[in-house]
Each structure stands twice: as C-alpha cells, then as structure tokens.
Amino acid sequence: MPNYFASYHNRQICHTDLNAHNILVQHFATPEQKYWLIDFDKCTEKSGNNWKAQNLARLHRSFIKEVNKLAIKFTEQDWDEILSGYKG
C-alpha cells in the first residue's frame, strides 16, 4: 500500500472521504495483497498540492480512530511505510 495513495494524488484525484472504511484489502495465499479504494461519489480533481497533506492526515486520523475503536492491526510503523512509499 505504500505508493497507493500517491498514485491518486499524482493524478490530482482527491478522495474527499479517505478513511480506513473505504479501503478494501484482498488477501491471497501468498504474502501478496491487493488494495481497493471505494466510495468515490464525492471525489474531485484538484489542482496544486496544498490539499494532499490534509487528505493524508485525514486517513491517518481514521486509522488511529479504528485502532482504538475496533482494534485493527495498524501501527505508526505502518504509517511511516505509507509515507515513505508516498514520497517515493
């Protein structure tokens, strides 16, 4: 998932409801995983880059909220990997 969000942002696609519930993970018998981003009904194309950090921050808050609420398996190390992949 590390560069998954960058691929949307690089095309100037802003998923206005970017949160943990809108990410589906498909697991295989191998360590490979496939990710699906859903719920694009309110998404927009945006110019510039100022909105991207806020969009990622929204996702981060969502992961933290779900860790506390539903005990999902997500750590700050996972977030660091997402950011590292995002930056390339």
Q: What is the pLDDT along the chain (88 residues), one digit of tens a residue?
A: 668 899 999 999 999 999 999 999 898 888 888 989 999 998 999 999 999 999 999 999 999 999 989 888 899 999 999 999 898 7
* pTM attached to this predicted model: 0.87
State the CB neighbour count (10 A cutoff) for residue 63. 19
Which domains can be identified in the chain, with CATH numbers? Answer: 4-87 (1.10.510)
Tell me the C-alpha distance between 14 and 25, whole Å. Answer: 20
State the CB neighbour count (10 A cutoff) for residue 5. 23
Catalytic residue among 17, 39, 41, 80: 17
In the annotation, is 17 catalytic? yes
